[in-house]
Amino acid sequence: MVVAGGVAMAAGVRFSRDAAAEIGAGSIAALPSEGGVAPWDYWQSNAGAGALRVASGAILAASPYNTQPWLFRLGSNEIQVIADEKRNLGGLDPFRREFYMGLGCAIENACVAAPSQGFNAKVSLLPDGAADGVAATLAFELTPASAHPHQDAIARRHTHRGPYQRDRQIETSILNAFNRQATSPDVKLLLINARDDAGKAFSDLTLEGTRRILDVESLREGRHAGIRASASGTNIDEAAFQKIDKSWLELTQAVTCATAPSFGLIMVRGSRADHRLHIEAGRLWQRIHLEGVQRGLALQPMNHSIEVIDFETQGGGNSSIAARMNLGGVWNGWEPIFGFRVGYADGPAPASGRRPLSAVVIS
């Protein structure tokens, strides 16, 4: 027997839609209220059942600056993923590209967590045009409980900001596995060897973007807003921000760019303001990160230059960086929406804090 959402299910047996009401959202009367690393412990303890268990995996997803821009409405046979608009990056993210990518990451984690509860999640993006804040509805179809191939990676996926082994190249089989994670016809992956001319150009543009973000007030304030959101209300004064910013620039040059063996760009084809593309790009990033973790790799976002492109083009103008982001190639209507680095690190990355389920599950 397999237990899904508190209901015993015989392996190999499929249930009718009427049975969905019995599976339910788990007990949400007393949601876990501890944040920080506690949500990671909750997930690893296999606590919760049904939609509640799915949500407990979704909140461990990646998000821009760890802003966690999501809320969840749990039902007996679905989850609504809702945009928490106050957790955006302001001028650093004028198209809400990173905001909706974060929501896409949570949606993907939910889809990974669902099969263990006997659910196959059917995703409907922006079902009402996002007018009511609903980024996606995940409708659950009953299926025999099983583990998704990426499920074990949810607990081990953390952003690794430390040095990577620059001289250890990533095997072709792994790069091919990353490419297979792209399933949308309008979202794809471009992998870049850090030692090639394109890799050197990517590093140079990243450093240029970093300096620009720190020099332009609206960009810098957007970054600071993300840091505040991640710090869960902790007071950070101007002197502290100056130290944080100085360290960020130094680490970007000496560690992030200097030690990476490979970079990646997630590319989209379509309007830069299309939130569906943003969500699909976020889902791809989450899949890549989970796949990488399973294969012993470390990954970190590198969006500095793309954030500057968004800032420069929000009014319809041209970007001083965008013209150089083709890295010597011809992209034929595709453009970069998200950058990252990937490689082998000497040790694990720490878990980042999370808002508790009691703060993100709404009625």
**According to the model, what pLDDT value does residue 14 have?**
32
Range in 23-32, 122-131, 303-312 the model is least confident about: 23-32
Give 132's contacts (C-beta < 8 A, 6+ positions apart). Answer: none
Does residue 360 sit in helix, strand or coil? helix
* pLDDT at residue 340 tops 80: yes
Nearest to 80 by CA among 126, 117, 39, 119: 126
Q: Which ranges of the chain does DSSP label H, i.e. alpha helix?
A: 20-23, 38-44, 50-58, 97-113, 172-179, 197-215, 217-230, 238-251, 275-294, 304-313, 357-360
pLDDT tens-digit readout, 210-261: 999 999 999 999 999 999 988 876 788 999 999 999 999 999 999 999 999 9
Q: Which residues pair with 36 in a beta bridge?
A: 354
CA angle 308-278-32, nearest 5°?
A: 105
Q: Bigger pLDDT: 60 or 235?
A: 60
Q: Quote the mean pLDDT of the chain.
A: 89
- Residue-level pLDDT at 24: 44
153: tokens are 């990676």
User: Tokens 């984690």 label which residue?
Assistant: 109
The answer to whether residues 357 and 55 touch, using CB atoms and an 8 Å cutoff, is: yes
Check whether 170 has a pLDDT greater than 50: yes
- Written as six digits, the tokens of 202 are 């990517």
**pLDDT (0 to 100) of residue 331:** 74
Q: What is the pLDDT of residue 233?
A: 61
d(CA 4, CA 56): 15
Residue 27 pLDDT > 60: no
Q: Residue 333 corresponds to which tokens in the numbers above?
A: 């209507």
Sign of CA dihedral 58, 149, 101, 274: negative
Give the closest residue to 297 by CA, choosing from 262, 267, 265, 266: 262
Strand stretches in 27-158, DSSP E: 70-74, 78-83, 119-125, 134-142
> Per the structure block, which two tokens stand in for 149?
């191939």
Is the pLDDT reported for residue 345 higher than 70? Answer: yes
Q: Is the dihedral of CA 265, 271, 277, 278 positive or negative?
A: positive
What span, in angstroms and rounded, lies between the C-alpha atoms of 12 and 90?
A: 49
Chain CA centroid to CA 103, Å: 7
CB atoms within 10 A of CB 46: 10
Task: Calculate mean pLDDT across residues 93-121.
Answer: 97
Closest Cα to residue 284, out of 352, 185, 140?
185
The model's pLDDT over 115-162, given as tens digits with 9 standing for 90+, comes to: 999 999 999 999 876 668 999 999 999 999 999 999 999 999 999 999
Phi-psi region of 333 (alpha: psi -120 to 50; beta: other; left: phi over 0): left
pLDDT for 129 equals 64
Neighbours of 175 (CB within 10 A): 17
Given a cut of 90, whether residue 6 has pLDDT beyond it is: no
Please state which of the ranges 53-57, 147-151, 198-202, 313-317 shows the lowest mean pLDDT: 313-317
